[in-house]
Structure 1
Amino acid sequence: MAVIELDLDAPPEPPAELPAHRYRWAALAAVAALLLTLGGAAPAVSVLWRPLGTIPLDGQGWWTVAGDRVYTLNDAEVQAWRVSATSLARDWAVTLPGAQATADARIYIGGRLIVTGDALVAQTSDFTASVLDPESGRLRWRSPSPVEQVMHGVGLSRRTTFRPGTEYDQDSGDPGELYVSDDGIPHIEPPMRTDLRGTDLNTGRELWNLRAAGSVFTTSAGGVVLMIASDRIALIDPRTGAIRQERPVKGLTWGRTIGDLVLVRQGDRMLAYDAHTLEPRWQAPGGLPDDDADVGYCENLVCRPTDDGMEVLDEATGAVRWRAAPKASLRGSGDDVLESDTLTQTPWRLLDRRTGELRTSLAHWQTVVQGDGMILSRWEAGAGSRVFAVARNGAVQPLGRADPGSQDCRGNEPIVSCRNGNGIDFFAYR
């Protein structure tokens, strides 16, 4: 948006004089407005930003928003809350059995809550997973190993097998890549094989088990499980484990899905396949390696990091559409792309998804809220609060304010939640 600086040195224009009879009507209007105020007229309330309340949660607790429910995990206690555009109320609370923190050398990545349509999975620090009924909190069963993903009522977990003698000595502090087993033990070599398992979330019954060489990556693709192993990619039925489509590809080190594409890395090449058929689409140079410290992230776009910045590729052909600035990370949402600083995550600009052209500057904003949409925030010292706005359709729309201590904010449209010193604050926006 252009800013025009007015001539501040010019003398002000004298106010235009009103005829005497015009003052009478202005005075009557002012009296009427005063009477409305004193008579109990409802105060103006922003329909864009509505504080809903606070859920108590300590600094180590975890929370997630799923539809009209909020679930929290604090040590061994799980709580469920109902949230709407106007209210926040607790539904139930349960204490998980035996969820005690481990005291060994395993690497624990923190608590986690996974919500599917008919199950709530609570991952705790003892490396077990508790599967609960999301409506009542009733414990259905407990898994002795982490449940990493859920799909159509099926939980996915893995069992990794490493070569003996490859455990990492954490007292040594030696640098290098680490590979963490399913139970949290770090190793200096990748696993020899991985067993991928599907489990019925209602009963805990194992439905299927597939073995692959090395490490595997899994995600959802068109309602089925996409598995990317070191030597193949496969589409797996989540209920039966039957392989619907499979394509041998040697030397894969990385993979993900973007829209209708499966993207994998093979050496210095990026390969694209149809997410429904695994038919090849295109190949392109892979750009910088993924472990390069300066490589930014790219979300909801097909990108390739280079020494000169991030390149955005055409999903249909793999050709370069446009280039972002050096040290930039990109996040697509609709027709917009948010460009931010890779190191600090400070938002820079809102770009056109098709051309990369500037839509609006975000120079005065400090952070981007995690989750759905593009919620921006900044600390305003003069107001003593954190200010929020939403970036969409190429413009920034102010929303409202929150406690100055708000941090670690997340957006799950139409709800924003932020951690403060006492718990989690919730706000509704539109």
Structure 2
Amino acid sequence: MIELDLTAPADQTPSSPPPASRYRLPGLLLAAVLTLVAGGAAPISSVLWRYLGSVPSPEGAESPFQLAGGRAYTVAGSGADRVAVAWSLTGAPRKLWTARFPIRVTDPDAMSWGGLQAEPAGDVVLLTDGTDTTVVDARTGATRWTSRIYVTPLPGRRVGVVQDNEFRANTVYDQASGEPGTLYFSATGEPHTEPPLRSEVRGVDLATGRVLWTVAAAGSVNVAVPPDDPGILLLSSDRLQRIDGGTGQVVRTTPLPERNGTGPTGSELIDGTLTVYYGRGGAVSDEVVYAVDSLEQLWDRPVPEITRDPANCGGVHCSGNTQALDVLDSRTGEVRWRAPADVDLFRHGEYVGELGSDSGLPVRLVDPATGATRIDLSGWTIETAPSSRPLLLRRSAGDGASAFAVVPAGRGRIQPLGTAGGALSDCTADERHVVCRVGGELRIWAYRA
């Protein structure tokens, strides 16, 4: 028989730890106090804006850089090669791999098709120099395959599209002759005096370069790739076709009769529709708008000749010049609202943006349906392409520093990020990072919005 002494003092050193539930409430209270103290000690910008570090990048147009797929890519010349470096931005910048590919050698008469760019597509990255494309492994940078023709990845990042054409012999333009006339350029930028006899559009496996399908048409063609869409739109001289990007099968066809004695001369994706242009000598006389999915004609209109103060409308249907610029409904062609004088327009997500036509500086973001102001952009400059997401904004913060901000989707406001000092140039951004050139290096910040 064991007697229990209920009056003895409690043992100060229990043989086993007390249950965790005993500390739950005090622990939560302590955590809340510490959170408040920490929140008061650290400015909110330290959470939204964090400097990650820098990576080397020579200055100049021949040494571009790019943010894509959560990585930074730098390119520099080295003898007869270009050297591309992929950098991880998870924490401090870290080199992932280096890839070398030959510098594109072009004829002086050939058309330039843009600069160097890197585009991730699933397990590969497309490194494009003009029209030349080198496809490398996204993990190691090892070359998978190459193409002398520009490769456009389709949504889904498994299939790419290349467009080639065939010209009649002896039609290459002689630059020394200086003869006037219309020129027609091949897929590699070579000028010809006659249009192509036929064109081919090929679907290729992005991992291997293997041709999956081929669609041919007489004469020239335009290829449009709608965003977030598995198909392509193929415009030829007499028809518009919707083609399945995986198989090459023609899903829909719409005939395109001539208008006022002219056939289609080009096309453009605008706000979920495809606009087909008609005209002669580079001047547009008519435009016809089609639904991307069904190829149903939505509306059409004659395009009056604009001789004074032409406006630029990127991704927006508009009519008139900078002194009387009407914004049109994408589905009906009806006038929605009139823009202020002396602005150009661009589409940015759920907004239409306005830029001063002379200054190029941003004015505001407006409601596409009414033109009502949604975000005032005065005092800021736009560091990314106006139509890109996010819209990276910058302005002086005094003493040589710059303040940065973004326009997050669906927020209806400008989100300040933070400040940075130094002679920053060539800034760009993706959804998580900002990169600016400073001398021979790139400085990189992470942000949240």
Q: 1:374-389 counterparts in 2 under 5 A?
A: 374-379=391-396, 382-389=398-405
Which of the numbers 245, 253, 257 marks the counterpart of 2:265?
Answer: 253
Q: 1:166-205 counterparts in 2 under 5 A?
A: 166-170=171-175, 178-187=183-192, 189-205=194-210
Which of the numbers 230, 247, 250 marks the counterpart of 1:240?
Answer: 247
CA pair 422-264 structure 1, distance change in 2 beyond 3 A: same
Q: What residue is the counterpart of 1:13 in the other structure?
A: none
Which of the numbers 75, 89, 94 marks the counterpart of 1:83?
Answer: 89
Aligned 8 A contact 2:365 2:377 in 1: yes
SS of the residue 1:215 aligns to:
coil
Paired letter, 1:273 = Y
Aligned 8 A contact 2:322 2:342 in 1: no
Deviation (angstroms), 1:265 = 1.8
CA pair 157-366 structure 1, distance change in 2 beyond 3 A: same
Q: Does 1:421 align with 2:427?
A: no
Cα deviation digits, residues 114-163 of structure 1 (max 9, x gap): 221222111236x5322111122222122233324444422211222345
Paired letter, 2:74 = T
SS of the residue 1:47 aligns to:
helix
CA pair 202-284 structure 1, distance change in 2 beyond 3 A: same
Distance 2:222 2:441 in 1: 34
Q: Does 1:263 align with 2:275?
A: yes
Cα deviation digits, residues 32-57 of structure 1 (max 9, x gap): xxxx99xxx66875323222222322
Q: What residue is the counterpart of 2:425 in the other structure?
A: 407
Distance 1:151 1:182 in 2: 22
Distance 1:402 1:140 in 2: 39
CA pair 211-295 structure 1, distance change in 2 beyond 3 A: farther
Q: 1:17-28 counterparts in 2 under 5 A?
A: none
Paired letter, 2:278 = Q
Deviation (angstroms), 1:68 = 2.4
Q: What residue is the counterpart of 2:236 in the other structure?
A: 229
Q: How many residues align?
A: 385
Q: 1:12-411 counterparts in 2 under 5 A?
A: 46-58=46-58, 59=60, 60-75=62-77, 76-84=82-90, 86-96=91-101, 99-102=102-105, 104-105=107-108, 106-108=110-112, 109-124=114-129, 128-152=132-156, 153-164=158-169, 166-170=171-175, 178-187=183-192, 189-221=194-226, 222-250=229-257, 251-267=263-279, 268-286=285-303, 294-299=310-315, 301-306=316-321, 308-370=323-385, 371-379=388-396, 382-391=398-407, 393-411=411-429
SS of the residue 1:283 aligns to:
strand
**Superposition RMSD on alpha carbons, in Å?**
3.1
Deviation (angstroms), 1:196 = 1.4
Deviation (angstroms), 1:271 = 1.6
Which protein shows a greater Rg? Answer: 2
Deviation (angstroms), 1:418 = 2.5
Deviation (angstroms), 1:359 = 3.4
Aligned 8 A contact 1:294 1:342 in 2: no
Distance 1:230 1:419 in 2: 45
CA pair 89-165 structure 1, distance change in 2 beyond 3 A: same
CA pair 228-309 structure 1, distance change in 2 beyond 3 A: farther
Distance 2:274 2:44 in 1: 50
Deviation (angstroms), 1:352 = 2.4
Moved more, 67-76 or 275-284: 67-76
Aligned 8 A contact 1:296 1:327 in 2: no
Aligned 8 A contact 2:154 2:245 in 1: no
Deviation (angstroms), 1:168 = 4.1
Cα deviation digits, residues 322-364 of structure 1 (max 9, x gap): 1223442223334432201245421122222221123344332
TM-score by length of 1: 0.78
Cα deviation digits, residues 11-39 of structure 1 (max 9, x gap): xxxxxxxxxxxxxxxxxxxxxxxxx99xx
Distance 2:194 2:170 in 1: 10
SS of the residue 2:84 aligns to:
strand
5+ residue gaps, structure 1: 1-35
Paired letter, 2:141 = G
Paired letter, 2:98 = A
Aligned 8 A contact 1:217 1:228 in 2: yes
5+ residue gaps, structure 2: 1-36, 258-262, 280-284
- Taking only the aligned residue pairs, the percentage that are identical comes to 34
Cα deviation digits, residues 194-225 of structure 1 (max 9, x gap): 22122112222112222223332223232111
CA pair 215-377 structure 1, distance change in 2 beyond 3 A: farther
Distance 1:103 1:158 in 2: 19
TM-score by length of 2: 0.75
CA pair 327-424 structure 1, distance change in 2 beyond 3 A: farther
Aligned 8 A contact 1:256 1:262 in 2: yes
Paired letter, 1:195 = E
